[in-house]
Amino acid sequence: MSELHEGLEVINYDWKSDIEDVFDNPVCSIEEFYEEIWIQSQTAFDMPREVQVIIDANNTLFMSVGNPGFVSFEGQDAELYNREKKMKLPIVEWIHTHPFGHAYFSGTDWMTINLWQRNMEKATVLGNNERATFEPRNGSVDRAYETHTKIVIHSEEEE
């Protein structure tokens, strides 16, 4: 792993499969999919870490893990350049977590949205029991299209 991931300890080596299983399950809702991403962000590693999931035009998932405050594909390029599954634009949705805070689009998030807006249909941030969603309209990154939703996300330990 890259320096960004130095010291990363994986607790659940199946974290990507767990997310894919919910995504591929026709009886699971989008809320259950978001919840699984949040749970893995909180429990799959040595500490809560940012996780990002990209859904491409083929409904294929691309996932990576970062540190508690930043996530990229740096050091995880194989996920994007896998010969068997190449990402196809447009990005249907870019989802990532803010494991220690609220669901909001940070300055870094807005830079990513500005860079990808013509090839991204939706961006979502998952925070502590909330979700923020942004859907660029007509190539515009007008923040008026940002919505915030309170949701209940819980871990299996609470059940």
Rounded-to-integer distance, Cα 120 and Cα 65, Å: 20
Q: Domain residues for 46?
A: 3-158
pLDDT 10s digits, 69-90: 989 877 776 776 666 778 899 9
Number of domains in the chain: 1
Q: In which band, very low, low, confident or very high, does the pLDDT at 135 lie, cut at 50, 70 and 90?
A: confident
Q: What phi, psi does 83 have (nearest 5°)? A: -65, -25
pLDDT 10s digits, 47-72: 999 999 999 999 999 999 999 998 98
Quick check: helix, strand or coil at residue 137?
A: strand
